[in-house]
Amino acid sequence: MKPTLIYTLSRLGLLGLCLGLGYLASLRGVILLVAAFLGSGLLSFVLLTKQRSAMGEKIGGALSSINERIEANTSKEDID
C-alpha cells in the first residue's frame, strides 16, 4: 500500500500548504478551512496525477485478486 501512503501524505501536505497560505492571506475560521480544502483538492487534481494513477493500479490489482479468489471458490462450490 505504499502508493496509497504516498498519495495520502501528498494530499495532507497540500492541505497544510493551503492552510498556511490562507492564514497568511488573513483567512480565518470556516472560510480558511473551506478555501484550503478546495484549493488542495484542485491542486492535487493537477499535481498528483501520477500518484493517483499508481494508487489506482495498486488498489485495482488487489481487488482483481480478491475477485479471482471469489470466482475460484464459486466454481469449486459449483463442482461439488
- pLDDT band at residue 78 using 50, 70 and 90 as cut-offs: low
Whole-model pTM: value is: 0.75
Q: Supply the range of the domain harboring residue 13.
A: 2-79
Number of domains in the chain: 1
Q: What pLDDT is stored for residue 31 in this prediction?
A: 97
Query: Coil, helix or strand for 35?
Result: helix
Residue ranges in the chain assigned as alpha helix (H) = 2-24, 29-47, 49-79
- pLDDT band at residue 80 using 50, 70 and 90 as cut-offs: low
Mean pLDDT (whole number) for 28-55: 96
Q: What pLDDT is stored for residue 79 in this prediction?
A: 72
Mean pLDDT (whole number) for 50-69: 90
Residue 41 pLDDT exceeds 70: yes
